[in-house]
Amino acid sequence: MKKIVLATNNRNKAVEIKQLLEGWDIEVLTLQDYPGLEMPGEDRPDFAGNAAKKAEAVASYTGLPAMADDSGLEVDALGGRPGVRSARYAGENSSDRENNELLLKELAGLPPEKRGARFRCAVAMAVLGIETRVVEGSCPGRIAEKPDGEGGFGYDPVFIYEPEGITFARMSSEAKNRVSHRGKALQKARKLLKELL
């Protein structure tokens, strides 16, 4: 059985990615299997650069194929912020709740038509001796006026997926995976995996 290492400590991301690779003859490992591995900082200006940097670091350390994603939320009224700083928008080590509260505060008073946003995701595949490949996915929507729903993580409670008219946090994980930025990027990554493995 082939092995691949997911370059993430985020349990929610690992679960989503494992769900999308179900049915494949691949053993999926995570950073929890490599406690000595220190991940590089996310200092690139875009999601693709950060994803590639993480995947290459993990492939180099483990000698195994590695997959990394970097993703976040871009809000039109904020000039694309929080962008690559999505996970630490309210400060280093900020919680999802703190990030959502800051975002809603910044958009307070804006009408629905001015609350356009998109989730973006870049997935990088790094295999030693082969050029790192990156695929991307995005999902447009708008920001709600207050959190709604218990599911998902990150900005899911405030991100309205307009074709359904509900937040990601109110969608089942299966429904969300079909339309989300990460779901779209991982569908492309599945094709890449076939080529690379």
Instruction: Give the residue numbers annotated as catalytic, written as ranges.
Output: 70
Q: Calculate helix-pair angle for 181-196, 11-20, nearest 10 degrees.
A: 60
Q: Of the candidates 105, 117, 108, 107, which has an alpha carbon nearest to the alpha carbon of residue 168?
A: 117
- CA 60, 35, 47 angle in degrees (round to 5)? 55
Contact 135, 185 (CB under 8 A): yes
Nearest to 164 by CA among 175, 153, 174: 175
Q: What CA–CA distance (Å, rounded) separates 187 from 139? A: 14
Residue 126: which of 42, 56, 48, 29 has the closest Cα? Answer: 56
